[in-house]
Chains A and B, each alone.
Chain A
Amino acid sequence: QKEVEQNSGPLSVPEGAIASLNCTYSDRGSQSFFWYRQYSGKSPELIMSIYSNGDKEDGRFTAQLNKASQYVSLLIRDSQPSDSATYLCAVNGVTGGGNKLTFGTGTQLKVEL
């Protein structure tokens, strides 16, 4: 079982719709959770961080964390073509992992006109 799992996609949504991206993790010792956006050929860009159960909203983005289910998600409201990218879920604090981030393989999002 991979430590951080994401559906690779592509996930296609129409412009203006809500995109829902999901991530599960295996280690219950995980403490911090991050979403990065990565455009093709570019480096990851941090867009959201979440540390406690519940929702955290920042503009069009909402991160949701459920530690009991070991599940973290990212919602993008009013999706725009510029949101088309790969979204990486990252987890920190995996047991014995110190401060390193463990990443999923990413979900490719396509926002269609």
Chain B
Amino acid sequence: KAGVTQTPRYLIKTRGQQVTLSCSPISGHRSVSWYQQTPGQGLQFLFEYFSETQRNKGNFPGRFSGRQFSNSRSEMNVSTLELGDSALYLCASSLLGRTNTEAFFGQGTRLTVV
């Protein structure tokens, strides 16, 4: 079966702009989580959506937001981009999002803010 698909793979934006990243989970998976990966901070949890509702949120400013559609596809948006937002953004899907279930990651979107 197809894996988690993230688009676009690469993105270059200017400070102050906004960006939208997309994630299509594995078919049938209802939980989608987003993570930010940087060399300095490592992999950090952004938020998780399940059945179109945000269930968990990490410690990121309000400029970071997301949503999930009825087909479980998810988008995350970052407004007023800062240089420090340059990172690899990873999306993970799981069947029900329960503890100890396997999360499948996409290849990520590499965002560069200049």
Say whether A and B bind each other.
no
Interface residues of B (CB under 8 A from A): none
Interface residues of A (CB under 8 A from B): none
